[in-house]
């Protein structure tokens, strides 16, 4: 092609002839999010001044990464999400992962723990230890981290409605290990807004839930300065069916709501913004995912600088954890999931993630076995040490395709944020059902395309084969529930009952007032009050949220 020939001339010539020969494919190239992919990208597809938008890594607007040296200086944290059964079993899995080269912990809690119930509550029958570890008290937390030095290991905890309680337990365990809270590193998810949008493990109404979030912000800023006080999660928004642009648009809108709530509580933006972290999904379209991560960094940097007038560079950095896409895994031909996860993990690395979890091949069928977990971890290690993807910073920068896609996703995400602003902010948008409807619409579109074979899922709707389900799936023994109930009974018989009741009464009084609740929650935790007892005190004062079904 001569240098004087335009892209349009090329499209109307060579590519038109090609399309006439392959009519069935012409115009059908789209990402899973529905973004049309042009056959060719040139400098004309990138907006003017794009070099200023790209910039250098470690410098505003952080398109190319939040740290100057990125993986040339230090690899991402390999943080495998794990937890099942009771604390003893999960402790053994954590030690296994650490022995195999994992560099950070990520705790999965069971459903009763996620919604603030003890294992002996009748509503929890059949759910104890099933999708994560059962934690009913500080005693369980002590076993969970037994033999794991919390001043040397970074821990992420996926917990939201009762996040303040689990954080208090973690701090108390550290103190028992002789470790000051100021030395703790890690993240607590603590992102309640996305629970109302996409996940559903809420307890209290939004206003009271936001009080717990901002109380945690304030406490952490003073007592755990190295701890990320929230992980604002787009992961579950994407799992619910959103597009890539919706994922970052809605997630950053959540971030705006948390920042505004913190400011309303009297905190200075530069006192808390640097400890905000994010959590994103990685799906199969490698280039779309890379562009999504780059767009998210750039957009958040502008939001913090222009909207919130942050002064510190650290306040403008979007630091994020990535997990590969659980909803993309298939029960059919589960070995194919190893390939999917590899592509997704590579997208996260090329998109400059700070930490990464790779899903196991059998997670569409059960909780992962040790063998499957090891393969998932080895996937990260091979990318890190054999692929060359970590050898240079932002290796796809400058690609006409990647830069154009980054710009497109950023603009779409910004449009969603503007729409949410028009509706009165994220809480109002949730109450009106806007966010839920947008996600549901996209989820329906994608599902119809899969069912109609417009979108190919290998092993599911094309290249299928008859096969038996794997025999060695992980099953949770029903005895775990009975043993956990006995532990609660034994705990209550042995603890100082008067001290526990006193601390719970103090917490209730604080809930009725306006004091920061974290010190009172910590006091109740240390007295061995159970998770359910603590959450029930707050239920009594705050009430429970009942979801409005959005149609």
**What confidence score (pLDDT) does residue 32 get?**
75
pTM: 0.90
Q: Which two tokens stand for residue 74?
A: 């230090």
**What confidence score (pLDDT) does residue 26 get?**
46
**What confidence score (pLDDT) does residue 1 get?**
39
DSSP-assigned letters across all residues of 180-201: -GGG--EEE----HHIIIII--
DSSP symbol at 461: T
Contact at 8 Å (CB) between 60 and 305? Answer: yes
Radius of gyration, alpha carbons of the chain: 24
Q: By C-alpha distance, which of 247, 233, 169, 148 is closest to 199?
A: 233
What confidence tens digit (pLDDT) does each residue in 435-462 have? 999 999 999 999 999 999 999 999 999 9
Rounded mean pLDDT for each run of 10 residues along the chain, 551 residues in total? 59 59 55 78 71 84 94 92 94 95 94 98 96 97 97 95 98 97 96 94 95 96 94 97 98 98 94 95 97 98 98 97 97 97 98 97 93 96 95 92 95 98 96 95 96 94 87 86 97 97 98 97 98 98 84 56
Query: E-strand spans in 110-251?
Result: 154-158, 186-188, 227-228, 230-233
Bridge partners (DSSP) of residue 279 are 233, 321
Helix axes 518-526, 531-542, angle to 10 degrees: 140
CA distance 138 to 526: 7
Say whether the peptide bond before residue 61 is cis (omega within 30 degrees of 0): yes
Bridge partners (DSSP) of residue 227 are 186
What confidence tens digit (pLDDT) does each residue in 200-222 have? 999 999 999 999 999 999 999 99
Contact at 8 Å (CB) between 195 and 429? Answer: no
Per DSSP, helices labelled H in 156-223 are: 163-176, 193-194, 206-223
Per DSSP, helices labelled H in 386-478 are: 400-422, 426-431, 434-451
Q: Where are the domains of the chain?
A: 1-30, 50-451
Contact at 8 Å (CB) between 173 and 145? Answer: yes
DSSP-assigned letters across all residues of 333-382: STTHHHHHHHHHHHHHHHTT-SEEE---TTTTTSBPPHHHHHHHHHHHHH
Strands 276-282, 320-324: pairing kind? parallel
3-class DSSP state for residue 279? strand
**What confidence score (pLDDT) does residue 23 get?**
45
Q: By C-alpha distance, which of 488, 485, 482 is closest to 528?
A: 488
- Please give the class, per CATH, of domain 50-451: alpha beta
User: In the chain, how many H helices and how many E strands?
Assistant: 23, 9
């Amino acid at each position: 092609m001569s240098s004087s020939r335009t892209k349009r001339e090329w499209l109307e010539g060579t590519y038109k002839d090609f399309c006439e020969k392959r009519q069935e494919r012409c115009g059908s190239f789209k990402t899973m999010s529905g973004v049309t992919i042009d056959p060719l990208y040139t400098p004309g597809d990138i907006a003017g001044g794009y070099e200023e938008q790209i910039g250098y890594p470690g410098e505003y607007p952080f398109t190319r990464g939040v740290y100057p040296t990125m993986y040339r200086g230090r690899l991402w944290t390999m943080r495998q999400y794990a937890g099942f059964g009771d604390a003893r079993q999960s402790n053994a899995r954590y030690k296994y992962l650490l022995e195999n080269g994992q560099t950070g912990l990520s705790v999965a809690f069971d459903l009763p723990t996620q919604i603030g119930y003890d294992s002996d509550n009748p509503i929890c029958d059949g759910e104890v230890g099933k999708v994560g570890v059962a934690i009913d008290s500080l005693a369980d937390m002590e076993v969970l981290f037994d033999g794991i030095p919390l001043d040397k290991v970074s821990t992420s905890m996926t917990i939201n409605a009762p996040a303040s309680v689990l954080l208090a337990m973690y701090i108390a365990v550290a103190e028992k290990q002789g470790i000051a809270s100021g030395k703790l590193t890690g993240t607590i998810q603590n992102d309640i807004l996305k629970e109302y949008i996409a996940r559903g493990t809420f307890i209290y109404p939004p206003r009271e839930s936001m009080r717990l979030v901002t109380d945690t912000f304030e406490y952490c800023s003073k007592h755990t300065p190295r701890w990320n006080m929230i992980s604002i999660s787009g992961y579950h928004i994407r799992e619910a069916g959103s597009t890539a642009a919706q994922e970052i648009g809605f997630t950053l809108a959540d971030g705006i709501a948390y920042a505004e709530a913190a400011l309303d509580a009297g905190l200075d933006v530069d006192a808390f913004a640097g400890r905000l972290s994010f959590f994103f999904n990685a799906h199969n379209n490698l280039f779309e995912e890379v562009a999504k991560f780059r767009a998210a960094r750039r957009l958040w940097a502008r939001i913090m600088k222009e909207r919130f007038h942050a002064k510190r560079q650290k306040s403008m950095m979007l630091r994020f954890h990535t997990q590969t896409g659980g909803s993309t895994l298939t029960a059919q031909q589960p070995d194919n999931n190893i390939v999917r996860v590899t592509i997704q993990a590579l997208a996260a690395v090329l998109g400059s993630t700070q930490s990464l979890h790779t899903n196991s091949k059998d997670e569409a069928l059960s909780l992962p076995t040790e063998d499957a977990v090891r393969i998932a971890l080895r996937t990260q290690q091979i990318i890190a040490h054999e692929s060359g993807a970590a050898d240079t910073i932002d290796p796809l920068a400058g690609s006409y395709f990647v830069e154009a896609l980054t710009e497109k996703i950023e603009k779409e995400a910004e449009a969603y944020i503007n729409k949410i602003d028009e509706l009165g902010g994220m809480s109002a948008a949730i109450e009106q059902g806007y966010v839920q409807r947008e996600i549901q619409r996209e989820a329906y579109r994608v599902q119809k395309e899969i069912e109609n074979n417009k979108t190919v899922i290998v092993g599911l709707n094309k290249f299928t084969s008859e096969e038996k389900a794997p025999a060695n799936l992980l099953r949770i023994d029903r005895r775990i529930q009975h043993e956990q109930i006995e532990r609660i009974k034994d705990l209550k018989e042995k603890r100082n009952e008067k001290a526990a009741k006193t601390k719970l009464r103090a917490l209730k009084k604080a809930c009725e007032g306006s004091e920061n609740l974290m010190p009172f929650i910590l006091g109740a935790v240390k007295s061995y009050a159970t998770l359910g007892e603590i959450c029930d005190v707050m239920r009594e004062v705050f009430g429970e949220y009942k979801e409005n079904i959005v149609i």
